[in-house]
Amino acid sequence: MRLLVVEDEKKVASFIKKGLEEEGYAVDLVSDGKTGLTMGLDGVHDLIILDLNLPRIDGLSVLQKLRKRKVATPVLLLTVRAAIEDKVIGLDTGADDYLTKPFAFQELLARVRALLRRRAEAESPLLQVADLTLDPATRLVSRGDEKIELTTKEFALLAYFMRNPGRVLTRTMIAEHVWDYDFDPMTNVIDVYVNYLRKKIDAGGEAKLIHTVRGVGYVMKVE
């Protein structure tokens, strides 16, 4: 899962980014509303964590513009404001949840998981390629009758493949969706994780599902 954090307080932003990355999420971090709006409009993120008090464009205006442009990405608002009226305005504008500062990271994480789970349930109850199945809501993966245990990053990578069957995915596309904008394209991390996946989903000698496209990237398909 790829998350966008729009937060101008450096300590808070670093705290959120580090914690989410330790949980296996890809995190893009920006510190002003104008840049946050531009990145939010890309539509590549699974969730946006948006502070209300931002330079250049305030968070509420960013949210209004995103919703006006029909961007349906879930938004979790962060603010030091605790008044019920402020929360109502934020939620009525199109926010999906609201968290008041200061907060415990575990509460933030729980809210992130809930919003991502809600989106997964709404978008796709089940992904399937051949006899490989992935349930975004429960995060269960199986091939035939065999359950497959995946790390958070492996799960995100497999979900991306399964949402794009038959489509050649370049390493850049994979990096941008599963990792983040700061990913180093010179590393072989993507190839390493693809090999991890292959060992797990093809462990029983089943037909290979992830194929290498030389000089380009990978494709998931049944041959």
Query: Cα–Cα distance between 164 and 221 in angstroms, integer?
Result: 9
Residue after which a domain boundary falls, among 65, 87, 122: 122
Please tell me the predicted confidence (pLDDT) of residue 22.
87
163 shares a domain with 205: yes
CATH number at residue 193: 1.10.10.10
User: Do 111 and 138 reside in the same domain of the chain?
Assistant: no
* 81 Cβ contact partners less than 8 Å away, ≥ 6 residues apart: 52, 87, 100
pLDDT of residue 144: 87
Same domain? For 112 and 131 the reply is no
Please give the Cα distance from 106 to 114 (Å, whole number): 12
| DSSP letter assigned to residue 75 | E
Residue 171 and residue 83 share a domain: no
Residue 210 CB neighbour total at 10 angstroms: 20
What CATH number corresponds to the domain at position 12?
Answer: 3.40.50.2300
Residue 9 shares a structural domain with residue 107: yes
Same domain for 179 and 86: no
- Residue 9 and residue 114 in one domain: yes
Residues 172 and 137 in one domain: yes
Identify whether residues 86 and 172 lie together within a single domain. no
Domain encompassing residue 82: 2-122
- The rounded distance, in Å, linking the Cα atoms of 220 and 182 is 26
Quick one: 32 and 97 in the same domain?
yes
Are 116 and 7 in the same domain?
yes
- At 12, the amino acid letter reads V
Structure tokens at 92: 């009525």
Last residue of a domain, one of 93, 122, 151: 122
Examine the fold and report which residue of 104, 122, 140 is the final residue of a domain before the chain moves on.
122
Size of the chain, expressed as the number of residues it contains: 223
The answer on 12 and 116 residing in a single domain is yes
* Cβ–Cβ < 8 Å for 53, 77: no
Write down the pTM of the prediction.
0.65
Reduced to 3 states (helix: H, G, I; strand: E, B; else coil), residue 17 is: helix
Neighbours of 178 (CB within 10 A): 26
pLDDT reported for residue 123: 62
Count the domains in the chain: 2
Q: pLDDT 10s per residue in the chain (223 long)? A: 789 999 999 999 999 999 998 888 889 999 999 999 999 998 778 899 999 999 999 999 999 999 999 888 999 999 886 667 777 788 888 999 989 888 999 999 999 998 988 877 666 668 899 999 998 777 889 998 889 999 878 988 998 899 889 999 998 888 877 876 566 767 888 899 999 999 999 876 678 999 999 988 999 998 7
Look at residue 173 in the predicted model and tell me its pLDDT.
Answer: 84
